[in-house]
Chains A and B, each alone.
Chain A
């Protein structure tokens, strides 16, 4: 069973993410609705992959990413950003942080579980 933690503040998108990932019985899902609680949830759940929305209030996706990378227990967990912006400058800057990947909204919820598995596999080669 692979464990995925996602952080998404938009309730509708969070619901789509949950429905999408729960379609795959080999994935267990934990979620939080802001960047501020990602570290605590990750320590509790120890996911195989973290999916972070970029535009979250209070603590943004990139800020939450920085917090995770400073934590010895969490720093090696691959992080994939989820963003609706899709501007060249933003994509480049997200990848330069050291993210495993970036998924652009709108994403295909049918293909998302396999897409995340590919990132997971790639990060563990």
Chain B
């Protein structure tokens, strides 16, 4: 049986930050300063670690010994996981404070999608990622935040890949839909993974609610990823729909409302607050 969920918005006011950072003991400036300091303290040693590992991977002596290279690669992957966690923490705090910076600009969507798919494909060469587009050439240019759009697709695609068994396919479709005179850009990601139960489907978009699927990789299981993705979709004037069937797979569609250029500036300052509807 298929189960569906539409997430049009999400409540960003709730637990997640220590009480003293929300209760008024610190003002906004002090809170920003505190978060900036924490972020700085986390990123500085991470920069040394990741930098050293990246340089080490390119050393001939490391490449010559498969065992050493494998260990360096393992440390590098763990470091990237930590890096992503720090990025998610920063995004989360910015979403909590409603201070996410959205920068709409004209982008070639197909190119952007192709780049994201290429990056994701590196992690699972045993899967086939199929990118299909129904866009005509002249419609490839749309107004989106390049970084945040890429982040949304990357997060959703990473999940689809993470939960797919070897030799399976993941489909990515890009389409422009017109409904009642309004234009929507649809990106559909469909996997052939184990699917999601109705109970997990209901809680997987809440923050700090990781859904653990047997056999899935342990990448990014802190439970912030989908919460951030949903909030980003909302900030980009979008909507997220998910349909899943146990044993068959999951399909996620993100639809972005395409604004006219004179509407973009007001959209940039639009609230990123939202509420979950099941």
Which of B50-58, B130-138, B155-163, B227-235 participates in binding chain A?
B50-58
Tell whether A85 pairs with B94 under 8 Å between CB atoms, given A106-B46, A107-B47, A110-B58. no
**Complex Cα distance A91/B101, Å?**
11
Tell whether A13 pairs with B35 under 8 Å between CB atoms, given A84-B44, A88-B94, A110-B58. no
A residues near B83, Cβ cutoff 8 Å: 106
Distance in Å: Cβ of A65 to nearest Cβ of chain B: 18
A2 at the interface (CB under 8 A from B): no
B81 at the interface (CB under 8 A from A): no
**Complex Cα distance A65/B27, Å?**
29
A125 at the interface (CB under 8 A from B): no
B residues near A19, Cβ cutoff 8 Å: 55
Contact of B90 among A86, A107, A108 (CB under 8 A): A86
Contact of B51 among A20, A85, A88 (CB under 8 A): A20
A residues near B32, Cβ cutoff 8 Å: 87, 89
A105 touches B94 (CB 8 A): no
Proximity bits, A65-106, B CB within 8 Å = 1, else 0? 000000000000000000111111111100000000000111
Question: Which residues of B6-54 have CB atoms within 8 Å of chain A's CB atoms?
Answer: 32, 35-36, 39-40, 43-52, 54
Nearest B residue to A112 by beta-carbon distance? B51
Contact of B39 among A12, A85, A92 (CB under 8 A): A85
**Interface of B, helix, strand, loop or mixed by DSSP:** helix
A residues near B51, Cβ cutoff 8 Å: 13, 16, 20, 106-109
Range class of the B interface residue count: 20 to 34
A105 touches B39 (CB 8 A): no
Distance in Å: Cβ of B98 to nearest Cβ of chain A: 11
B residues near A91, Cβ cutoff 8 Å: 101
Range class of the A interface residue count: 20 to 34
B101 touches A88 (CB 8 A): yes
Question: Which residues of A11-60 have CB atoms within 8 Å of chain B's CB atoms?
Answer: 12-13, 16, 19-20, 23, 55
B47 touches A105 (CB 8 A): yes
A residues near B48, Cβ cutoff 8 Å: 10, 12-13, 16
**Complex Cα distance A16/B50, Å?**
10
**Complex Cα distance A55/B44, Å?**
11
A residues near B50, Cβ cutoff 8 Å: 106, 108
Q: Could you list some 18 contacts between A and B, CB below 8 A?
A: A12-B45, A12-B48, A16-B47, A16-B48, A20-B51, A55-B40, A84-B39, A84-B47, A88-B94, A91-B101, A104-B43, A106-B47, A106-B49, A106-B51, A107-B51, A108-B51, A109-B54, A110-B58
